[in-house]
Structure 1
Amino acid sequence: MARRFVAPLTESEQQTLTSAYHHGEKRALRRRAHAILLSDQGHTIDQISEILQVRRDAVSRWLKQWETSGLDGLIDKPRSGRTPILDEHDHQRLQELVAEQPHQIRSLQARFQEETGKTLSTVTLRRALKKK
């Protein structure tokens, strides 16, 4: 079995990874930075995958991403997700309708659908009103 390690890290890279490991916002980034640091210390991919409780191919992918893209390779890329049902104009119109009838969520829902043609559940409507 091949023993693959990352190229020796510079002092700057070690500091960057240590900072990401200790203070990174996302758990995934902290875990990936930890994997790179463990590899630099001489741990094999199998050992790292056992320590971090992840699959071997994930660790291998992280090492490749580190070597090709550095820290940027360890950060998750933005994902598209679902497009929002309501745009800024819709949010403004909802606020206007609430000002007219603040305690009538069902009538608000019906009027909004009548005006815009967009159907909203009461949960979506409440969530939209809480945002603003």
Structure 2
Amino acid sequence: MRLIRDLNPESQKMLERIYRASKHHQVRERAKCILLSFQGTTIEELSGIFGVTRKTIYNWLTAWEDRKLIGFYNRRGRGRKPKLTEAQGQQVIDWVKEEPKSLKKSR
């Protein structure tokens, strides 16, 4: 069983403030997860509370241990990459502007 063991009072207050005030839902969830882990909640219980897998909980704990607060935020480059390049996207926009009522010509 893996828990957050060393959490000083300042960090606890900061995490509680983040949990209450952050505008990002994921950040609030992760802050609460760290607090509950410090209070002794097991990985299985945490995964049930947050509706995520055990691996996700481990990832959150590792991110906290490695990067502290910055670990709560998703890194850049996540998500689906665009299928069209910027030039191709601009070309599509130009075609639609030229013939806005005839999309068949845009194909």
Q: TM-score range by the shorter chain?
A: 0.7 to 0.9
1:3-61 per-residue CA deviation (whole Å, 9 max, x = no partner) reads 11012211111111111111112111111111101001100111111111111110011
Q: Which runs of 5+ in 1 are unaligned?
A: 87-116, 126-132
Name the residue aligned to 2:105: none
SS at match of 1:51: helix
* Higher RCO (CA 8 Å, separation ≥ 6 residues): 2
Which residue of 27, 34, 39 corresponds with 1:36? 34
Which residue of 77, 92, 99 corresponds with 1:119? 92
Report deviation, 1:118. 2.7
Report deviation, 1:64. 0.8
Report deviation, 1:78. 2.5
Which residue of 61, 65, 68 corresponds with 1:67? 65
Name the residue aligned to 2:3: 5
Which residue of 21, 24, 30 corresponds with 2:22? 24
Structure ID, larger Rg: 1
- TM-score, structure 2 as length reference: 0.72
Matched positions, count: 91
Q: 1:12 to 1:84 in 2, by over 3 A?
A: farther
Q: In structure 2, what residue type is equivalent to 1:15? A: K
- TM-score, structure 1 as length reference: 0.60
Report deviation, 1:84. 8.4
SS at match of 2:92: coil
Identity %: 29
